[in-house]
Amino acid sequence: SPVREVLFFPSRVTCVESLLAEEEEAAAAATPCACLLPHGESALGRLLARVLSARRSLDLCVFAFSNPQLGRAVCLLHQRGVHVRVVTDTDYMALKGSRIGELRRAGIQVRHDQDSGYMHHKFAIIDKKMLITGSLNWTTQAIQNNRENLLVVEDRDCVNLFLAEFERIWEDYNPT
Amino acid sequence: SPVREVLFFPSRVTCVESLLAEEEEAAAAATPCACLLPHGESALGRLLARVLSARRSLDLCVFAFSNPQLGRAVCLLHQRGVHVRVVTDTDYMALKGSRIGELRRAGIQVRHDQDSGYMHHKFAIIDKKMLITGSLNWTTQAIQNNRENLLVVEDRDCVNLFLAEFERIWEDYNPT
Ligand SMILES: [Zn+2]
Ligand SMILES: [Zn+2]
């Protein structure tokens, strides 16, 4: 099915360090991690693995972004040469814990809404081919405490409709 | 494709009275409506048509529900004998404009979260076969002002995963 995966939250808290380990650290990461968190599967781990599978592009359109692990994943992709673009909501961007400043300092292109309404989408498009969308904001509160869902979709028509929506928003929020 | 339709918001404001007309009013509704709103297609009209297509059951799991037209649609389904169940978030339920009181007074079963986190889902399952899910809360603010998305999915495995999530939440929020 083009619906590749469904993730429900809250996610149990697990260690995701091995997913976030850079290649130079891969040997180190292969040795068992000594931290006190469980090291099995989790919804956050599954989401991180999908995001980190990007090889060419990540187009991210998310109302609220404060989760540190997802912030590290997006910065890692940028360091690896993946073309990352981020759209977010102005109101949330200013709140404590937002990752948006960190992304900008890393050199990632970020645009934010100029509208009176909220930019309330929560979707990511990986390599123009895979859509991750649902109710989940990229916040630790949502991941660990809320009832949330995400779909991973590889239907071409559906992904193209979301890509077109991303491009519309990207242009609408062009500050120049 | 099992992804039947993608809807983006904000929706232009159109008249949806003909969609909401009961059968006894169908003749009246067939005469051109004299109101001042445009009478063409809109994302809200498409969503209402999907909701009103229910013949057996509506399982609705939505964080915030204040839109009057969607409230009327859900009450109409209940009047037609469709089995309606609603799950919502406690915090939003108490706010001005919430439709939840109206649904309860109409005799519709409503349950709300007992958790510390938010019940942040925004999905509906029609006749156990069609899933409507995305970023959109069922509020007029979201429909008319926000950037939002909805997917209409008829993938059986995906729908069944959401049905199981609904049943888990329905039992978790059982007040007895
Ligand atoms: Zn660890
Ligand atoms: Zn009218």
* pLDDT for residue B137: 97
Return the structure tokens found at A141: 């509160």
User: What tens digit of pLDDT does each residue of A50-104 get?
Assistant: 999 999 999 999 999 999 999 999 999 999 999 999 999 887 777 778 999 999 9
Question: Cβ of B121 and A153 within 8 Å?
Answer: no
Q: How far apart are CA A28 and CA B42, in angstroms?
A: 55
Return the structure tokens found at A137: 């904001």
Q: How far apart are CA B96 and CA B66, in angstroms?
A: 8
Beta-carbon contacts of B142 under 8 Å, excluding residues fewer than 6 positions away, are A118, A120, B9, B64, B136, B148
CA A6 to chain centre: 16
Identify all chain B residues contacting A130, using CB atoms and an 8 Å cutoff.
none
* pLDDT for residue B56: 98
Q: How far apart are CA B129 and CA B163, in angstroms?
A: 9
Q: How far apart are CA A46 and CA B34, in angstroms?
A: 53
Average pLDDT over residues A25-30: 63
Prior bond of B32 cis (ω within 30°): no
Q: Give the residue from A23, A72, A69 showing the smallest Cα distance to A43.
A: A69
Task: Please tell me which of the candidates B116, B120, B149 has its beta carbon nearest to residue A123.
Answer: B149
User: Min CA distance, A116 vs chain B (Å)?
Assistant: 7
Q: In terms of residues, how long is chain B?
A: 176
Q: How far apart are CA A157 and CA B133, in angstroms?
A: 17
Q: Which residue of B has its CA nearest to A88?
A: B147
**ipTM, two decimals:** 0.94
Average pLDDT over residues A95-119: 90
DSSP per-residue string spanning chain A? --EEEEEEESPPP---HHHH--GGGHHHHHSPP-SSS--S--HHHHHHHHHHT-SSEEEEEES-B--HHHHHHHHHHHHTT-EEEEEE-HHHHTSTT-SHHHHHHTT-EEEE--SSS-B--EEEEETTTEEEEES--B-HHHHHHSBEEEEEE--HHHHHHHHHHHHHHHHHT---
pLDDT-derived band of residue A114, with 50, 70 and 90 as boundaries?
A: confident
User: What tens digit of pLDDT does each residue of B120-162 get?
Assistant: 999 999 999 999 999 999 999 999 999 999 999 999 999 999 9
Asked if the C-beta of A163 comes within 8 angstroms of chain B's C-beta atoms, the answer is no
How buried is residue A57: exposed, middle or buried, by Cβ count under 10 Å (0-12/13-18/19+)? middle
Q: How far apart are CA A117 and CA A5, in angstroms?
A: 31
Question: Cβ of B2 and A157 within 8 Å?
Answer: no
Beta-carbon contacts of B41 under 8 Å, excluding residues fewer than 6 positions away, are B14
Q: How far away, in angstroms, is B43 Cα from ligand 2 center?
A: 16
Q: How far apart are CA B170 and CA A103, in angstroms?
A: 39
pTM above 0.90, yes or no: yes
Question: Cβ of A155 and B63 within 8 Å?
Answer: no
Q: In what order do the strands lie in the sheet with B122-126?
A: B3-9, B148-153, B130-134, B122-126, B57-62, B83-88, B109-112
User: What tens digit of pLDDT does each residue of B22-78 get?
Assistant: 765 666 666 778 889 999 999 999 999 999 999 999 999 999 999 999 999 999 999
**Residues of A recognised as catalytic:** 120, 122, 127
